[in-house]
A = this chain, B = another copy of it.
Amino acid sequence: MVSNSDSSGALAQRLSDSGLRSTPQREVIYSVLLKKRDHPTAEDVFARAKPEMPMISLATVYNCLETLVQCNLVRAVNFERGPTRYCPNLRPHAHFHDEQTGATHDIDLPAGVLDQVKSVLPVNFDAASVEIIFRGKARTET
């Protein structure tokens, strides 16, 4: 299973780069995120990990997700005050939140758009990151 070893390898690498250990829990959590990229909540991830690892705890899911975010393998995404959602898409992208369905869509950002957006900042503002969130209605084709 090439893609699995690849992601496992990448994960193990990133973890050890940060002085952290590769654990079965962290690998399962990460694989769950890669398998279905629909921006699940921690509870969603917990439910999806359970069948593969019945003894995993919700606290561990929170711990692992936080670890993956710190390693820059996963982005945490928030809409209003809803539960945090997790996204393994590392390309620069915005999020579109469908108010009808609650679904979250990735919107890839062409190079240059982020720079354009950052150009609105006065010189004394030094932005480490920019986040763009759309809200509206998405027409998914049949």
Contact = CB atoms under 8 A, between A and B. Distances in A.
B96 A125 contact: yes
Interface string A54-83: 000000000000000000000010101100
Interface string A98-142: 010000010111100100111011101111111111111111110
Contacts of A137: 126, 128
Interface residues of A, number: 38
A134 B110 CA distance: 18
Given A78-B80, A81-B84, A126-B139, A121 B133 contact: no
Contacts of A139: 124-126
A94 interface: yes
